[in-house]
Structures are given as C-alpha cells and as structure tokens.
Amino acid sequence: MDAVRIYGGKSLSGQTKIQGSKNASLPILAATLLTDGICEIENCPDIADVYHMLRLLRSLGCQIERRGDVIRVDTTRLSECDMPADSVGVMRSSIMLLGALLARTGEVSMEYPGGCVIGKRPIDLHLYALRRMGVEIEEGETAFCAKASRLVGTVQELPFVSVGVTENLILAAVLASGETVIHPAAREPEIQALCEFLICAGAKIAGAGTDRLVIEGVEKLHPTRFRVPADRIVAGTYLTACLCAGGRVFLQDAPCAHMESVIACAERFGARLGRETDGLLVEGRADRRLEGGLTTAVYPGFPTDLQSLFMVVMAVSGQDGFIEEDVFENRFRIVPELVKMGACIQIAGTKAYIRGGHSLHNTIVEAQELRGGAALVVAALAAEGTGIVKNRHFIDRGYEDITLRLRELGAAVELA
C-alpha cells in the first residue's frame, strides 16, 4: 500500500492541527550531538525523514526514546560507528551531521547524501566552507572522510544563500575556536529555530533571523529541552487544498508569522483568510488571475517547497498564469503528471506557463518527490472522479499521515 486514493470533487470543511516542522526538526536533532547528555525535543513530527535521522543518530551510539511527539536523545555514549548508507542516501539532510560530528569528535566518514530529485544541490560549498575552518577532506567516488583537530572560526562570505550550508556552518562554529561570521546567511524560520535551540544549550549566536550571523565558539554545550515550531510548508499545503477544492477549514497552530508571502499569494487568488491567535482560517476557492505571476525566492520570499502546490492552484483557478522557479531547476517534474490530469502547462526554461479553462480529471499518477507528491493529492481533490497517487513514500517523508489530516478537513481520501 504505497499509494493514496482520492475521491475528487468534494469541498472541504473541518480543522486539523499542523505538525511540527520537518525542516526545523532535522537540524535540531543533528545539533543534539553537540551536547553531552539528554536533550528532549518536543513537537517532532512522526515522518519518514525524522525516522531516518533517528536511525543515523542510533548508529552513532545515541540512545533514542520517543514518547508521543517528544524525542529524548542521549548522546553520552556517542561512538564512531558507521552511519547506514541507506539512510544517508535517501535523506539530503544527513549532510548537516557533518558539521556537528566534526565539532564533537573531529572526524567523520560518510556516504554522499541523497534526497529528492529536485535539483543538483552539490555539497561542494559545504566542503569548501568547512575546509576554511581547518577541516581536511579526502573525497572518494561514493564517500568522503573529514578530519579536524580543532575547528577554527573564520569569516564565511558565501557566493549565494544556502539553507543547508548555513546550518552546517552554525553547527560547526558553535564549538569552534574564535569567532565565525556567516554572510549571506539563510533567514528561514528553521534557521532561527536551530539558533534558538543552540542558544538554549549555551551557544553564543548573534543575528538570528538576519542575513549576517556572528557565532562566538564556546567550550561546551549543555543538554536542554526545546519545542519545534509548526511546519509552515504543511500549513501551506492544506491551505492550497482549500483553495483548490473550495470550502472552509481551520489550520490549528499554523505559523502565520512565517507565512506572509504565502498568505499574500493566497489572498491574490481570492481566498479569504483569517489570522487567529491559534491558527489560520481559510475560506473560498481560487478564482482570480495572479497578476505578474509567481516567482520563488529564498525566505522571506515565496518558498520553492510550495511552488508545485500553487501550480495546482493556478491549474484549477480557470485563469492563465506563470510560475518562475529561481531556486531548484527540477521543481517542474510534476508537470507531466498534471498534464495527464488535463492541465495545460508548458515549460520554457525556468518558467511554467499555465493555461486556465481546463478541468482536471482523476487518473493514476506517480509522485517523484515530496512536495510534488503532496501537490498531486491536492490536484486530485479538485478533479473529477477517483484518482490514485502512487509512491506515497515520498509524501511520508514530510507529512504525518496526510490521509488522516485531509479526512479531518472533510476530504474523501484513503490509503491504497
């Protein structure tokens, strides 16, 4: 049962609680390696990527205990065991263990990380930046070895904004000798959450939330307890479900403050949104043309993780529009599957042109990556008939039981 069956054409009504952030949980779990003791991480989502991260931590000697949405990580018996190649290979975020392990143990051997096929995302910049901190790296065809007797703080002027590189440098710098400056640093809320966790553990970090981070290395960090913020991308996903299927839903704990560009875009499509103290109320269906199109950008711009979902919104809105992808070159892999469903979409370089006036019909389609898989489920909600989205395992990487959550919102979906 690696598929989702969707009975389309039904408007939504109900409420669901937004899970903890995948993109915050993974670097925070990696950061627990920097402490010597037991850290408790609250609101960790029960998703495949977290499972793989915990498997990697166990392979390093950590003791893991999960009770509900709280994960206890005991790093007192950290060893130099090899990390399982299959977990490293399926999850791009495994690269952030590099900075944390170098800071804690001074030596790392690992396979090159994998993940969704949404772009090249080479790790060259990670390795270059770490070499500037005194790391010696030997690269092989399928794996590499990194060593450092002591990491040394330095000024890191990056050629472009990278969330992964920013996270790795933060993890390496907090225990390094001297001061590290990262510019331009990624400003995503997940970066801020990582900094907040580390500060709770005793790190000295200034500039969180800006494009210039200054980190003064400390001798050690202490264990702490931290709550992961809600997932803005998951909230955006269920927002688009309402935009496509129509209806009225409440997204409990939706992090509105971190969704400004998404909320503004949804309102331009004609949605009626109400910001509440405990979440986001979404009403209506997309029925307007998005003047000027949509361009993805690093935070606080429009998130690339929601690009394919808003492509679906455009496809069902009845209006012409375009999307320009400025972050990852392979984010348009969903297009052939949407065309199977009746959408009229043409790709020209980094732009996708969507023609309105074409009703979607359900059929069997295949997910090829995480967000595109969720987008196909959302498309099926608005389409006529019964559809199947295969390769649910991609969706499970980032969504806690998407069928249950959508049923809470009134959708007719089930595992298949």
How many residues in the chain? 416
Which residues have C-beta within 8 Å of that of residue 120, sequence separation ≥ 6?
329
Q: What domains appear along the chain, each with residue ranges and CATH number?
A: 3-19+230-415 (3.65.10.10), 22-227 (3.65.10.10)
Task: Report, as residue numbers or ranges, the catalytic residues.
Answer: 116
Cβ-based neighbour number of residue 270 at 10 Å: 16
Helices 307-317 and 370-382, axial angle in degrees (round to 10): 20
pLDDT of 305: 96
Q: Judge whether 188 and 196 are in contact, CB under 8 Å.
A: no
**What is the full DSSP assignment across 256-309?**
GGG-HHHHHHHHHTT-EEEEETTEEEEE----S--TT-EEB-STTSB-GGGHHH
pLDDT of 326: 83
pLDDT of 356: 83
pLDDT of 117: 43
pLDDT of 329: 65
| φ, ψ dihedrals at 303, nearest 5° | -75, 135
Cβ-based neighbour number of residue 204 at 10 Å: 14
pLDDT of 87: 64
Rounded to the nearest 10 degrees, how much is the dihedral formed by the CA atoms of 39, 45, 51, 54? -10
**pLDDT tens, position by position, 232-243:** 999 999 999 999
Which residues have C-beta within 8 Å of that of residue 361, sequence separation ≥ 6?
341, 342, 383, 384, 385
Q: How far is CA 223 from CA 32, 45, 86, 217, 245, in A?
A: 8, 21, 29, 17, 45
Helices 260-268 and 232-245, axial angle in degrees (round to 10): 10
The model carries a pTM of 0.95
Q: Judge whether 232 and 189 are in contact, CB under 8 Å.
A: yes
Per-residue H/E/C for 72-130: EEECCCCCCCCCCHHHHHHCHHHHHHHHHHHHHHCEEEEECCCCCCCCCCCCHHHHHHH
- Residues of the chain short of pLDDT 50, as ranges, are 115-120
